[in-house]
Chain A
Amino acid sequence: MTLEIRNVTKAFGGFQALDGVRLSVPLDSLFGLIGPNGAGKSTLFSVISGFLSADQGEITLGGRRIDGLSAPARARAGMVRTFQVPREFSHLTVRENLMAAAPAQTGEGLFGLFFRPGTVRREEAAIAARVEETIALLKLTRVADQPSGKLSGGQKKLLELGRALMVEPRLILLDEPFAGVNPVLIGEIMERIAELNGRGIGFLVIEHDLEALTRLVSRMAVMDRGRVLAEGEPAAVLDEPQVREAYLGGLS
């Protein structure tokens, strides 16, 4: 089972943000995505998650075409993204943030709410139980009833991960999960990701912190100027001359 991206292109005016991207991400893997700023990584996330539509190309998730689906439908198909700058429902509490993201609720339609109250109550109880599990897993118990807008940057990253988990995803797209997070919390987030991966959830991770990323992922791809330059095991990928030139050359 994979997420398959075939020949995906996306242009903004004259700027070719994605230029025939091909990538195959196994749904149970820890997969890294690196590249210099402007390489098209976040655009690719937006196109995969249905936030933007691709100009051309094909995306399948576990064999099912998803590029025609709306963003909510893709989330419900088991693939959720997080954002580089964490986003949250800032006026809702942490608990409400997580509950709002749980899919397939009978009570999300007025009909179900009024005519199937028993089902709604049962679902609410089940969702509440999962929310408590997620809060405990992410160690957010102390702030569970605070408005999420008041959380620290690292806590917001954890909340984003939690919100993604509520969808019962097969694959989570993480956009710079470690950016602006203190080193202690980075370790914490990495542990959580590894633990969730152990339960069969795949991760596709954009990250600039190469040191942390190479410890986390088993495979990675490198993007530059809207294309995938190389793909493979982290050490091998980082050794390729064109990768060093495009990406690391600018750093060292």
Chain B
Amino acid sequence: MFYAQLLVNGLVQGLVIGLAALSITLVFGIARFPNAATGDAMTLGGYSALAAFKATGSMALGGVAAFLATAVVSLLAYLAVFRQLANRSVVSLLVASIGVAFFIRAVLGVTFGHAQQVFMAPLSRPYVLGGVRITPLDLQLAAVAAIALAAVFGLLYFTPIGRQMRAVADNRDLARVSGVRPGRVMVALWLLAGGVAGVGGMMLGVKTIVSPESGWEMLLPAFTAAILGGIGSPGGAVLAGLLLGVAQEASTPFVGFTYKIALAFVIMLAVLLVRPRGLFGRVEGAR
């Protein structure tokens, strides 16, 4: 029963990691660089959701605000920074994304202060299912995450722009000579990648705290999940995020709360050593 409870907790935690990993893997697959600003985009999502939640008291509107604000800021980051560096090396883009990350963090720090903030969600009685406690808040968060995921996967697999995004991810040069216009694909990519990171950031904020540093600390587990899931594979990223969330929670009784973050690092090393293309991955090269 104890482990069933950890499993439930892990799944909620896993959704946070999965959303962040999805954002990373989309950017890596299509724009071809590891986006270190993903964590701080999550922080932005956390603050946006908090502001909307305070104003309206609705968690769902918090999710919408997180999605929209982070999507727009990510698009701006693309237009102002990443597009200008589009033909540079992966390292240039990675370093630029670290710069974008610091910029977002600094603006958030100046605007909202560095004190930790929390979602004052009303306490409510958890549902008990066979001895496992599930709070209504967790269910709401899971629903928001599920809607965001459904929107992203629906767009990727059932629309023309999604098809073209997958085509560019698959073979960028071929997409160009087939008449796929990269500009539109990039706009869609950054809106989506930003949006899902924002929703992940809102969940993170609700489950823990909102502070200018909170998203940055998610980068390691998020990258681990993206790699574990096979970098560039959207479904793999979400599954690996859930796996990692559950693994972290399940390991807590053995290694203690403090070290559960280290587990992500151990798993990432193990994956890179044993199966570099991840569990669901494809062979993928980066310049």
A interface vs B, CB < 8 Å?
A: 49-51, 70-72, 75-76, 80-81, 83, 87-92, 96-97, 99-101, 103, 105-110, 113, 120, 123-124, 163, 166-167
CB distance from A244 to the nearest CB of B (A): 34
When the two chains form the complex, which single residue of B159, B171, B176, B185 contacts A89, counting CB atoms closer than 8 Å? B171
Chain B 128-149 near chain A by CB (<8 Å), digits 1 or 0? 0000000000000000000000
Q: Are B167 and A113 touching (Cβ within 8 A)?
A: no
Please name 14 further chain A to chain B contacts, defined as beta carbons within 8 Å, in addition to the given A89-B166, A105-B160, A108-B161, sorted by A numbering: A50-B177, A72-B180, A80-B177, A87-B173, A88-B171, A91-B166, A91-B170, A92-B163, A100-B163, A101-B179, A109-B187, A110-B188, A113-B159, A167-B178
CA distance A193 to B173 in the complex (A): 24
Report B-chain residues with C-beta under 8 Å of the C-beta of A96: 163, 166-167
Q: Are B167 and A108 touching (Cβ within 8 A)?
A: no
Chain B 249-287 near chain A by CB (<8 Å), digits 1 or 0? 000000000000000000000000000000000100000
Q: Are B171 and A108 touching (Cβ within 8 A)?
A: no
Q: Are B178 and A163 touching (Cβ within 8 A)?
A: yes
CA distance A100 to B174 in the complex (A): 11
Q: Are A71 and B167 touching (Cβ within 8 A)?
A: no
Q: Does B182 have its Cβ within 8 Å of any Cβ on chain A?
A: yes
Determine the interface band of chain B, counting residues with CB < 8 A from chain A. Answer: 20 to 34
Q: Are A76 and B179 touching (Cβ within 8 A)?
A: yes
Report A-chain residues with C-beta under 8 Å of the C-beta of B175: 89, 100
CA distance A81 to B177 in the complex (A): 7
| CB-CB under 8 A for A88 and B161, given A72-B179, A75-B179, A109-B184 | no
Q: Are B176 and A71 touching (Cβ within 8 A)?
A: yes
Q: Are A88 and B159 touching (Cβ within 8 A)?
A: no
Q: Does B114 have its Cβ within 8 Å of any Cβ on chain A?
A: no
Q: Are A87 and B174 touching (Cβ within 8 A)?
A: yes
**Residue of chain A at shortest CB distance from B157:** A96
Q: Are A89 and B161 touching (Cβ within 8 A)?
A: no
CB distance from B42 to the nearest CB of A (A): 22
CB distance from B140 to the nearest CB of A (A): 25
Q: Which 4 A-B residue pairs are closest in the complex by CB-CB distance?
A: A107-B160, A75-B179, A89-B170, A100-B167
CA distance A103 to B185 in the complex (A): 14
| CB-CB under 8 A for A113 and B177, given A90-B170, A91-B282 | no
**Residue of chain B at shortest CB distance from A163:** B178
Q: Are A108 and B179 touching (Cβ within 8 A)?
A: no
Q: Are A51 and B177 touching (Cβ within 8 A)?
A: yes
CA distance A51 to B173 in the complex (A): 8
CB distance from A249 to the nearest CB of B (A): 34
**Residue of chain B at shortest CB distance from A45:** B177
Report B-chain residues with C-beta under 8 Å of the C-beta of A103: 179
| CB-CB under 8 A for A108 and B164, given A89-B170, A90-B170, A92-B170 | yes
Report A-chain residues with C-beta under 8 Å of the C-beta of B104: none
Q: Are B161 and A100 touching (Cβ within 8 A)?
A: no
Q: Does B191 have its Cβ within 8 Å of any Cβ on chain A?
A: yes
CA distance A232 to B170 in the complex (A): 40
When the two chains form the complex, which single residue of A100, A123, A124 contacts B164, counting CB atoms closer than 8 Å? A100
CB distance from B274 to the nearest CB of A (A): 23
The contact sample of 5 A-B pairs, CB cut-off 8 A, is: A81-B177, A87-B171, A100-B163, A100-B167, A100-B178
Q: Does B181 have its Cβ within 8 Å of any Cβ on chain A?
A: yes
Q: Are A92 and B167 touching (Cβ within 8 A)?
A: yes
| CB-CB under 8 A for A107 and B178, given A87-B171, A89-B166, A89-B167 | no
When the two chains form the complex, which single residue of A101, A106, A123, A124 contacts B178, counting CB atoms closer than 8 Å? A101
Chain B 70-105 near chain A by CB (<8 Å), digits 1 or 0? 000000000000000000000000000000000000
Most A CB within 10 A of own CB, among B159, B174, B175, B184:
B174
Q: Are A72 and B182 touching (Cβ within 8 A)?
A: yes
Q: Are A124 and B160 touching (Cβ within 8 A)?
A: yes
Report B-chain residues with C-beta under 8 Å of the C-beta of A97: 167
When the two chains form the complex, which single residue of A51, A71, A101, A110 contacts B191, counting CB atoms closer than 8 Å? A110
Most A CB within 10 A of own CB, among B171, B182, B185, B191:
B171
Q: Are A100 and B171 touching (Cβ within 8 A)?
A: no
Chain B 175-204 near chain A by CB (<8 Å), digits 1 or 0? 111111110110110010000000000000
CA distance A51 to B176 in the complex (A): 8
Q: Are B174 and A108 touching (Cβ within 8 A)?
A: no
CA distance A107 to B182 in the complex (A): 14
CA distance A92 to B164 in the complex (A): 10
Q: Are B159 and A107 touching (Cβ within 8 A)?
A: yes
CA distance A224 to B154 in the complex (A): 51
CA distance A244 to B205 in the complex (A): 75
**8 Å CB interface, B101-120 against A:** none
Q: Are B176 and A72 touching (Cβ within 8 A)?
A: yes
CA distance A97 to B180 in the complex (A): 12
Q: Are A120 and B170 touching (Cβ within 8 A)?
A: no
Q: Are B170 and A109 touching (Cβ within 8 A)?
A: no
CA distance A113 to B178 in the complex (A): 21
